Every structure is written in C-alpha cells, then in structure tokens.
Amino acid sequence: MLHNLEAEQSVIAAVLLDNDCLETFTRLKPSHFYAPAHRIIYEAICYLATKNVAVDLVTLSERLKAIGKLDAVGGNEYLTTLMDIIPSTVNFRHYVEILRKDETLRRLERAAASITKSLTQPDEKQKNFMEDSHAAVQYAERLIFDISKEDERQELTKLSNELPTVLNNFDLVAHDPAALRGIRTGYTVLDSITNGLQKGALIIIGARPSVGKTSFALNIVLNAALKSKAKVAVFSLEMGKVELVNRAICSVARVSLSRALHGELTPEEWSRLWDANAKLQNADIYLDASSSITATEIMRKCMRLKRERGLDLVMIDYLGLMGAPATGSRSESRQEQVAANSRMMKMMAKDLEVPVLMLSQLNRGIESRSDKSDSEPMLSDLRESGAIEQDADMVLFIHKPKTETQSEQNAHSRDYEAKIIVAKNRSGPTPYFKLQFIGELTTFMNPEDVTKNNGVASVPIPETKVQANLPEIVPLQDASDINDIF
C-alpha cells in the first residue's frame, strides 16, 4: 500500500523537537500512519497531550513502557533515532500533508478492492449488483464520495476559535451587504429575508394542488440561472421535460402559454420567444423527469453533476412522489419513508453545499377548518409533517385567498395576489409577503414589477437584447446530452 515512512518519522520527530506542533499533530488519526509502530507512538503522544504532559523522549518512553509497548516500537534506540531525522520543524506541515495524501490514496485503494469484491464475491446486500447496474454504480459512487468528504469532517474546537471568522463576516457585511449573499431568487422581500438562498439549506415550498408550487419554484430556478448564472438541477417527478420547458420559455418570454400552445402568438410575441430561447440555450439548467426516482438516485446524480459540471441549486418536485429508500425493510410506513427521504435531502444539501428547493403537498385538513373563508396553512398541514418540519431550514407556504363567490373565483382563478408565508426560518424572521401570480404566464412577480392597465394585471415587456459571447454549455432542451450527465 502507498505510504511514506520518512514522512511519518519526520512528523513524530517534529513533535519531539517542538511541542507547538502538537495541535496539528493531534488532529491526525491513527490511520494516517501506515507503520504499526508509528500508530502506537501517535496514540501515546496523544495520551500525553490530553494529560497536559510535555512530550519528549523521556515522557514518551515512560508512557510506552507503562502500556507495555516500548519494545514493540523498537525501544529507546528507535525513539532516539527519530530525533536525528530532521534538523528543525520548518517543513512540519508539509510532512503532515504527505501523510494526509497517502491515507486518502490508501482509502481509495481499499474502496476499489471493496467495489471489486462486491461484484465478484457479493454478500447478501450486494447480490443484486449483477442484475442492477444502477445499484452497483450507486454503491461505488457512495464509497468515493465518502472519501472526498472525509477530510472535511470537523473536530471539536473551542468556541473562541471561531469568533474571528464570525466577526470578520459581520464586518464584511457591514461594508458590503452583498458580501455573503447566496443565490438570488428574484423576489425582493424573499432575498431580503434570506440574503439569498444559502449553501446547505433545505427549503420546503408547500401548498395545496393547483396553487402554483411548481411555477414558484421554477421561477426561482430561472431567476437563479439567468440572473446569477447558477448551475441548477431540476428533478420533476410529476411533469415531463417538455411541459417544464413549455413553462420555462413562456415565463422568460412573458408570453401566454395557452396562446403559444394554440398557435396564436403575434409576430412581436414570437420575437420575444426567440429571445427567451437564446437565453435558455445559455442557461445551466439540467432536467430529470424520472417518475419513480429515489432520494439515493437524486444524491448520486447531483454528486456526479457537481463533480463534472458544478452545481449551485437543486429543485425537487415533489417530496410525496419520491420512491421509497432501499432500506431492506418492507414494513416501513409511508411516514417513515418520507422521513427518510426528507433526511437524505437535508444531508445532500449539507454535503454538496447547495440549497435544495423541495416541494411538498399540504393535507386536506386545511380545507375543512371552521374558518373556511381564508384558512392559512401552518406547519402541521405538511403531509408527514414531523420529519419535514425538523429537517427544513425554511418552510414557505403559498396561500391563495378564497374569493367570495363562484363567479369571482372563476374570474380570478388564473390571476391572483398570493400570500407567501414564511412559516419557519432558522436564520431569521418569519413574516409574510405578497406576490402577483400571472396565470397566463405561469409566473409569480414582485408587485412593483406589475403594471395596471384598466384594472387588469399585465407585465412589462422584457428587454429583447440578448447577451452575446456567453459560454457554450449543454442546452436546456437537449435531452441526449442531459442523459449523458445523469
């Protein structure tokens, strides 16, 4: 196996020469040392450090003698030899990096052996690998991903160690409010509340059917991709790719989806449609419309996309349609399955350091409350709400106020003033704000972006000028290229 005995000896020698190296030394693990003798010495030094005992030849020798391991490491003669390995500790951190690199390569070697064994000598859980290539790929990618994240795992640190970073962040924001801004949603109040969608956040968008969950989330995706140049993965378990692209291009072009589908667009609307097409051709949006995809498959595809193309935002439509996780248990209730999927999506957001927008249906109970005139949703209305409430960093509800009469409901069913309720927000307030939904365009807009003409909501015509010289990437609608990624 890959190792460097000289680097291991040099790291130990540096600690014996200068105890200021102890803090970095104790952050290593026994597995960073290939030689068994060096692992024993490492653990003895860490023990002395925990007892606040100075580490030198005498104290180390006494500790090894006390646990009966002095002869196992080569005796006092070997410890004395270590002292002559390096003249100073100048290159100590370089030696530590060599140990970290070799340990990572050894883990990769073991992972490769494990993958090979799973195919040639599978155990009970791996017997399906020969029939199911996706399961085998998921297993292999999970092993590799765990290795890539291993070095990022945090050790216990004193709170005071983090204070300079926090104060520096506060100072940065004081001088530049956009310094720590996440991905902008395009909605003024929401961006003000969140300072943009933050890395690692799981954001739930909940509403009853036909209120506009998909439209709202897709609008955020389009704003993020076109205005912030974000790379976005969209998993649609309900709509097909063509239906999603229909909505996307008409929303960007500000033309009626219904009139486009019926061939009733004017020449000026066609011009806007082609401008929108040019913009979306240069948008980093990747679609997956698998109807029975599982949380594990979503994680695998996002890991691969992040590794190969980059990834800034994930949208999932919606939680209730995700397949059950492969736990090996057939007795799990639907609530337990949803809880597992919700938890996995939170883990993905944290591990990949991207915000995840996940849509969720609300219970029918919201429609049977005593106050039927305008029952606003609450956290308990989320289906299988316990797990979703717990995992979510933010929960947004889209509330469509009920109209007084059936005729008014019919007249305003497509255009309405939506109330966006921030029901949970780990990092800030939980207010509400209003957006205007334009049914023809399947688009939510800031109230200030909507003009009023004779009492009918309309939207300004967007700029038709398209940015030139944008980087060439996979077109939104090119399904074959998307399948190469996913």
Q: What is the DSSP string of 255-279?
A: --HHHHHTT---HHHHHHHHHHHHH
pLDDT tens digits for 11-21? Answer: 999 998 888 88
Kindly indicate the confidence band of residue 149, based on its pLDDT and cuts at 50, 70 and 90.
low
- CATH classification (class only), 182-485: alpha beta
Looking at the predicted structure, is the pLDDT value of residue 485 above 60? no
Could you tell me which residues come within 8 angstroms of residue 310 by beta carbon, excluding any fewer than 6 positions away? 231, 284
Looking at the predicted structure, is the pLDDT value of residue 472 above 50? no
Q: Answer yes or no: are the C-beta atoms of 238 and 323 closer than 8 Å.
A: no
Could you tell me which residues come within 8 angstroms of residue 284 by beta carbon, excluding any fewer than 6 positions away? 225, 229, 230, 231, 232, 309, 310, 473, 474
Kindly indicate the confidence band of residue 325, based on its pLDDT and cuts at 50, 70 and 90.
low
Q: What are phi and psi of 316, to 5 degrees?
A: -125, 120
CA distance 86 to 8: 12
Q: Answer yes or no: are the C-beta atoms of 385 and 379 closer than 8 Å.
A: yes
Q: Answer yes or no: are the C-beta atoms of 286 and 232 closer than 8 Å.
A: yes
- 123-127, 308-312, 395-399, range with the lowest pLDDT: 123-127
Mean pLDDT, the chain, rounded, equals: 78
Kindly indicate the confidence band of residue 470, based on its pLDDT and cuts at 50, 70 and 90.
very low
pLDDT tens digits for 36-57? Answer: 999 999 999 988 888 888 888 8
Beta bridge partners of 236: 317
Kindly indicate the confidence band of residue 462, based on its pLDDT and cuts at 50, 70 and 90.
very low
pLDDT tens digits for 258-279? Answer: 888 888 888 888 888 898 888 8
CATH T-level assignment (fold) for domain 1-152: DNAb Helicase; Chain A (1.10.860)
Q: Which of 340, 285, 345 is nearest to 486 (CA)?
A: 285
The position carrying tokens 């102890």 is: 22
The pLDDT of 299-318, averaged and rounded, is: 87
pLDDT at position 483: 45
Kindly indicate the confidence band of residue 129, based on its pLDDT and cuts at 50, 70 and 90.
low
As annotated, the active-site residues are 238
- Run of H or E including 83: helix 75-83
Domain spans of the chain?
Answer: 1-152, 182-485
The pLDDT of 280-300, averaged and rounded, is: 85
Q: Answer yes or no: are the C-beta atoms of 237 and 291 closer than 8 Å.
A: yes
State the Cα angle at 446 between 440 and 448, rounded to 5°.
110
Q: What is the pTM of this model?
A: 0.64
Instruction: Report DSSP letters for 20-34, one per residue.
Output: GGHHHHTTS-GGG--
Between 164 and 221, name the one with better pLDDT.
221
The pLDDT of 125-129, averaged and rounded, is: 62
Between 131 and 78, name the one with better pLDDT.
78
Could you tell me which residues come within 8 angstroms of residue 202 by beta carbon, excluding any fewer than 6 positions away? 342, 345, 346, 349, 355, 356, 358, 391, 392, 393, 394
